[in-house]
Structure 1
Amino acid sequence: MHHQRSSIAAAFVAAIGIGAFASLAAAQDGASKVSSPEDEIARYREMLQDGNPADLWIARGEDLWKQKQGPRQASFEQCDLGLGPGVVKGAYVQLPRFFQDTGKVQSLESRLLTCMVRLQGYSETQASKNHFSSDGKQSDMEALVAYVASESDGMKINVPLSHPKEKEAYRIGEQAFFFRAGPHDFSCATCHSQSGKRIRLQSLANLTDTTDAQKVYGTWPAYRVSQGTVRSTEYRLYDCLRQQRFPPVQYGSELTTALTEYMARNANGGVFSAPGLKR
């Protein structure tokens, strides 16, 4: 752990140094072309990718997948993520999807809650609480999500849209994406429906554009360097809704599932490369 932190710090310093050197060289040569903030951030992420701290979450998530828990002392090893009980390989890139046993379209997070209730014996209230890391406490759910997602690394995103419920979820997700409300009259689309926009140094992806959607959706869940933890798509949506000043949404809700369906389907065909690494 100490070695990995040292590597991260060294890479961060190196990234800053590279950016400063590039800018200095350009100034000395009288050139007008200087590395953009996006270029330097991308280089920083690339340097850290081989030692992504998310690997620790993946290992813990795999242990949690096999660990017997809950009133029924059961593991997740019989949890059906859409490809059959216990099949993890390739499952994430085909979620959300319709599940016959619940009659719902479910994301990974929503489906894991179902397995916590039906397999492990938790109540629905117990299953839906405390799934985000906070105050230095790591979330078991985010570790599970990191593990399951990692088992689809390098595969193409292939979210189905054949069942009527899947089509309905996509329509609801699209409507929610463009729905303006709250004290600032914001929607998801306010920040994420046009190309080339940014907030300060942060580029804003156009999630209505296939290429941008593939780049963004295909790199979550991700390790957030600024927060020192892995964050899932569910958390990212929760935080975006919070910033829009919307009321808190329940973990694994139909709203976040529909928004995930919309983003994931827009990203179809892209190569999944996660857990990613974010600022």
Structure 2
Amino acid sequence: MKNRIRMAAALGAVAALGVAGFALAQAQAPAPSIQDGIAEYREMLADGNPAELYMMKGEELWRTARGPRNASLERCDLGKGPGVIKGAFVELPRFFADTGRVQDLESRILTCMQTLQGIDTDREVSSRGYLRGETANVVAMATWVASESKGMRFNVPQAHQAERTMYELGKRAFFWRAGTHDFSCATCHGVDGKRIRLQELPNLTGNPGDGVGFAAWPAYRVSNGQMWSMQHRLHDCFRQMRWPEPKFASDVTIALSVYMGVNAKGAASAIPTIKR
């Protein structure tokens, strides 16, 4: 009987040592971080990105003769000469002499639709029609154009005085507090380490945050099954801050894009991306 008691005690001690050793190993092993989990989630989402369908639609629209003038956009000048697509996206917004304006990708596409195809974009394109008609077409074409610069580094120009002025205007708009909630863009995107629930809020005042913020749009939004361009993203930020809704491709949205685009200098474009 005594031998049985001693044997049970010995086995209990061995089991206790095993549990302690396992617990120690668990404590010493690095626990997966929230960021690791989010990165794995995004990697799984990226497998079969629906944005590819929008890219295909955008390229087809770009090359198809449409509008009152029955013309394609293949002669559209996005800043690198008529018809040159590759590398144009990472150098936008920029100043265009023919319009006398600093334009981002979407507003430049509108200009080409007007001048080459004769489409009345003032009537056909609006900030509330992202899933309909010509507004949806602009988003699809912007997605394709942007994808042609994938992997290239952002280098938004500041050579022209108008470009430098828009940068300063964009910076002021970024830090301007207004609305019923006294919010600014910087409230969420002005410092490192902020998040809403599990959603990180990149610091858009410089890299690397701006490289995963500004440089990640157009993107496919899984939560609502929509393709969003930067104009769409900015409009939703205005909505969340309870600010007045801006006009599609308005100067304030372009100025904000100039500010963020210059801050993203050197970041590689990953378009098209996929977002939660």
Task: Specify the alignment match of 1:74 in structure 2.
Answer: 71
Call closer, same or farther: CA 1:105–1:43 in 2, change over 3 Å: same
Task: Specify the alignment match of 1:271 in structure 2.
Answer: 268
Q: What is the letter of the counterpart of residue 227 of structure 1?
A: N
Task: Specify the alignment match of 2:3 in structure 1.
Answer: none
- Deviations along 1:53-111, one digit per CA (max 9) or x if unpaired, are 11111011100101111111111111110011111111100100000000100000110
Task: Specify the alignment match of 1:21 in structure 2.
Answer: none
The match for 1:92 among 85, 89, 94 is 89
Displacement, 1:26? 9.4
CA distance in 2, matches of 1:228, 1:175: 33
TM-score (normalised: structure 1): 0.85
- Determine helix, strand or coil for the equivalent of 2:248: coil
Q: Is the 8 A contact 1:138 1:229 kept in 2?
A: no
Q: What is the letter of the counterpart of residue 259 of structure 2?
A: Y
Q: What is the letter of the counterpart of residue 207 of structure 2?
A: T
Q: What is the letter of the counterpart of residue 230 of structure 1?
A: M
Call closer, same or farther: CA 1:107–1:34 in 2, change over 3 Å: same
CA distance in 1, matches of 2:78, 2:23: 51
Task: Specify the alignment match of 1:18 in structure 2.
Answer: none
Displacement, 1:202? 1.1
Say whether residues 1:156 and 2:153 are aligned partners.
yes
The match for 1:235 among 232, 236, 260 is 232
Q: What is the letter of the counterpart of residue 256 of structure 1?
A: T
Structure 1 range deviating more: 196-205 or 42-51: 42-51
Say whether residues 1:198 and 2:195 are aligned partners.
yes
Q: What is the letter of the counterpart of residue 33 of structure 2?
A: S
Structure 1 range deviating more: 27-36 or 184-193: 27-36
How many equivalent pairs are there?
253
Gaps of 5+ in 1: 1-24
1:5-16 aligned at under 5 Å gives the runs none
Say whether residues 1:249 and 2:246 are aligned partners.
yes
Q: What is the letter of the counterpart of residue 96 of structure 2?
A: F
Q: What is the letter of the counterpart of residue 97 of structure 2?
A: Q
Displacement, 1:123? 2.5
CA distance in 1, matches of 2:146, 2:158: 20
Task: Specify the alignment match of 1:173 in structure 2.
Answer: 170
Q: What is the letter of the counterpart of residue 251 of structure 1?
A: F
Displacement, 1:274? 0.9
Displacement, 1:36? 2.9
Q: What is the letter of the counterpart of residue 32 of structure 2?
A: S
Structure 1 range deviating more: 153-162 or 41-50: 41-50
Q: What is the letter of the counterpart of residue 261 of structure 2?
A: A
Q: Is the 8 A contact 1:194 1:206 kept in 2?
A: yes
Q: Is the 8 A contact 1:131 1:141 kept in 2?
A: no
Task: Specify the alignment match of 2:257 in structure 1.
Answer: 260
- Deviations along 1:14-45, one digit per CA (max 9) or x if unpaired, are xxxxxxxxxxx999934684323332121122
Q: Is the 8 A contact 2:125 2:135 kept in 1?
A: no
Task: Specify the alignment match of 1:223 in structure 2.
Answer: 220
TM-score (normalised: structure 2): 0.86
- Deviations along 1:149-186, one digit per CA (max 9) or x if unpaired, are 00000101111011000000000000000011000000
- Aligned structure 1 segments of 4 or more residues deviating by more than 6 angstroms: 25-28
Structure 1 range deviating more: 217-226 or 176-185: 217-226
CA distance in 1, matches of 2:262, 2:81: 22
CA distance in 1, matches of 2:79, 2:34: 40
Task: Specify the alignment match of 1:9 in structure 2.
Answer: none
CA distance in 2, matches of 1:27, 1:113: 63
Gaps of 5+ in 2: 1-21
CA RMSD of aligned residues (A): 2.1
Task: Specify the alignment match of 2:107 in structure 1.
Answer: 110
Q: What is the letter of the counterpart of residue 255 of structure 1?
A: V
Call closer, same or farther: CA 1:29–1:95 in 2, change over 3 Å: same
Call closer, same or farther: CA 1:122–1:35 in 2, change over 3 Å: same
Task: Specify the alignment match of 2:130 in structure 1.
Answer: 132
Displacement, 1:48? 3.3
Q: Is the 8 A contact 1:219 1:275 kept in 2?
A: yes
